[in-house]
Chain A
Amino acid sequence: MTIGPFLWQLSTSLKGPADDIYSSTPRLFPSDPTLANFIEAATKIPILGFAANSSLVALLVVGGNIIGATMAGYALARLRFRGRGVVLGAILATMLLPAESTIVAQYLTVRELGLADTLLGVALPAMVSMINILLMRQAFLAVPKELDEAAIVDGANVWQRFWRIGLPNVRGMVAVISVFAFIAAWDDFLWPLLVLTTPEKFTLTVGLQYLSGAFSSNPRVVAAGTMIAFIPIVVFFLVLQRQFFRGVDAGAIKG
């Protein structure tokens, strides 16, 4: 039930012109298998370019989140300082806002920064996500305090403790937030749709929508396009899924 539609789409994308995709008795296995649809999707529309754009955005977002969220998560979990409650409260409060309700003003902010219609403009607002900060904070809170105390007695400064004790103990959560950040960046549709206007800069989601308009008469090519967008993210997830579900079992994720 859950992966059937994907298989069906994969099968459509591999069907050659001799296959009757509209036949009254649908067949899963193509009788005239071909990769021509993929080639057509890749040449008529710069779908590989879209994929490269999406990868760049995803890379920026994943990198930004790993750095920003681990640093802030560590400080909020492990260091006592005046104003910590205020920062934590502001983070929680922004999670109440549906992202879509601030999107208009966010667009103006990005435009004022001169980043409208750029990939950096697409990536920037998502580069430090508040939920990831909270997840990292939870992970750091679970690291035994005794380790920190021992390090303090040994004279380790805060950076050494962050780097040598904190980080190695939260690698599972880093995997989880990487998956979240990657999926969020790769899947986002509304935001790049607003920010990007030049077709060459489209990310995959926006490009696919464009593709489905241009090739609405040929579902085989559209299917090939969706597979080009779908396969990398599935591979990425399969690589990380063991760690991801281990994090889930440990009660790491609550939304």
Chain B
Amino acid sequence: MRRSTRPSRSATRCSPSRAARGRGRVVDRDTAPSDQRDPKRTEEPMSATAQAGGARWSAQAGGGAEGQSESIGASRPTTAAFGRARRIRTHSWFAPWLLCLPAIAFLVVFNLVPAINVVVLAFTNAKMLSGGTFVGADNFVRMLHDDQVGTALVNGLVYLAVCLPFLLVLPLGLAVLVEKKIPAIGFFRTMFYTPVVASAVVVGLIWTWLLDDRGAINAIAKSLGLITRSVPFLTDRWLLLLSAISLTIWKGLGYYMVIYLSALGSVPRELHEAAAVDGASAWRRFWSVTVPGVRGTMFLVGVLITVGALRVFSELFILTNGTGGVGGANVSIVMLVQMYASGFNGNLGYASALSVLLFVVTLVPLAVIARVQRRTEQ
């Protein structure tokens, strides 16, 4: 974060049209020291997301502020005046806390406390209607012998292995296509984004109907003579998983497209032009200019895909009507959490242990991604 923030800030300082002294001292003092301090202390463990997302954010913010402040030359005297009267109290000590109060309350009550609580619960035999007592690692031992947990892990890995390549590249291609400012492009953007705004349940029900034995896809394939018998998209163990995966990809295209879209703006146009002059084809420019240009965002997208794939729930739940497929062979970890946590005899202790497993399972690929990122940056 710190490394990549610097260019933008120095760019700001070098900007010629600025009453730079006043700003450099007074205003930067406001953000710069803390911006350098905070990430060091707090963002180290999540360098993958922080560097990919955070760095870009601040780079962008710096750029934006610079661009806008060009136009308000009138504020120069003010800045200078402010520089002299530096000891003005700009706010009372409690104002920031009052502003942050709702956020902090929600952060503590609905994020921090549950996070701690779930770890505590994982070591108890808490039921839906009773408090539960400490049982040591029993829940985790039980997990080792639970075939469904193994199945869920396999499903999660298959999900990840198939989703990752598709969702890393396809949305970027889409974003390049809809980036151009030509008439009616808004229509295409909106069209690609439509599956994102539709809820997973709605999308799942629509696909259930499309993939049904007598649904449109089978009917069309039959009428074209491609198949003679219906393909069991929703009842075969692996086909069902593939159906859910393609649903996730279909719904994810628009979502990641938008993320790439907002990153494409920072790829220098001159690079494209230079490459075009040198005779590089559009395909070549995509791989040699666009992809490296959005590499930071790519890592962020990779993280989001990974976390999303491992915690898949709605797609599988809807496509299997809540059963986890034939013989429960298509469950995911979150589905198991839901199964054990609901109903009057819900086993909250075991559900919590599964939640902890989910967290740990998610951390592993994130650590791998962070490592790869660090290596490519060196």
Contacts and interface: CB of A to CB of B under 8 A. Distances in A.
Interface residues of A, number: 111
A105 B102 contact: no
A93 B322 contact: no
A106 B75 CA distance: 49
Interface string B157-195: 000000000000000000000000000001001111111
Contacts of A241: 186, 189-190, 193
Interface in B44-88: 45-46, 49-50, 52-53, 56-58, 60-61, 64-65, 68-69, 72, 75, 78-79, 81-82, 85, 88
B214 A22 contact: yes
Contacts of B193: 237, 241
A198 interface: no
A237 B258 CA distance: 14
A93 B118 CA distance: 16
Contacts of A146: 23, 69, 72, 75, 78-79
Contact of B206 (A9, A88, A209): A9
Nearest to B321: A213
A8 interface: yes
Given A71-B103, A141-B61, A146-B69, A237 B197 contact: yes
Contacts of B97: 75, 81
Interface of A: 2-3, 5-6, 8-9, 12, 22-26, 64, 67-69, 71-72, 74-76, 79-81, 84-109, 124-125, 127-128, 130, 133, 138, 141-147, 149-150, 152-153, 157-159, 162, 179, 183, 186-190, 193-194, 204-205, 208-209, 212-213, 216, 219, 222-223, 225-226, 229-230, 233-234, 236-238, 241-242, 245, 248-255
Given A153-B78, A208-B201, 4 more contacts: A67-B102, A100-B334, A153-B82, A237-B190
Contacts, number: 347
B107 A91 contact: yes
Given A226-B206, A249-B262, A103 B355 contact: yes
B37 A138 contact: no
Interface of B: 23, 26-27, 30-31, 34, 37-38, 41-43, 45-46, 49-50, 52-53, 56-58, 60-61, 64-65, 68-69, 72, 75, 78-79, 81-82, 85, 88, 90-93, 95-97, 99-100, 102-107, 109-115, 117-118, 121, 186, 189-203, 205-210, 212, 214, 216, 219-220, 222-223, 250, 253-254, 258-259, 261-263, 265-266, 297, 300-301, 304, 307, 310-311, 313-314, 317-318, 321-322, 334, 337-338, 341-342, 348, 351-352, 355-356, 358-359, 362, 366
Contacts of B210: 5, 8
Contacts of A90: 42, 107, 112
Given A98-B307, A102-B355, A254-B53, A186 B199 contact: yes
A86 B43 CA distance: 11
28 contacts: A2-B195, A23-B219, A26-B220, A84-B34, A88-B38, A88-B42, A89-B38, A92-B50, A96-B366, A101-B355, A101-B362, A102-B115, A104-B337, A133-B103, A138-B57, A144-B75, A146-B78, A147-B72, A149-B26, A158-B95, A159-B95, A190-B334, A205-B202, A208-B202, A222-B209, A237-B194, A245-B186, A249-B262
Contacts of A103: 337, 341, 355
Given A12-B209, A92-B46, A105-B118, A183 B197 contact: yes
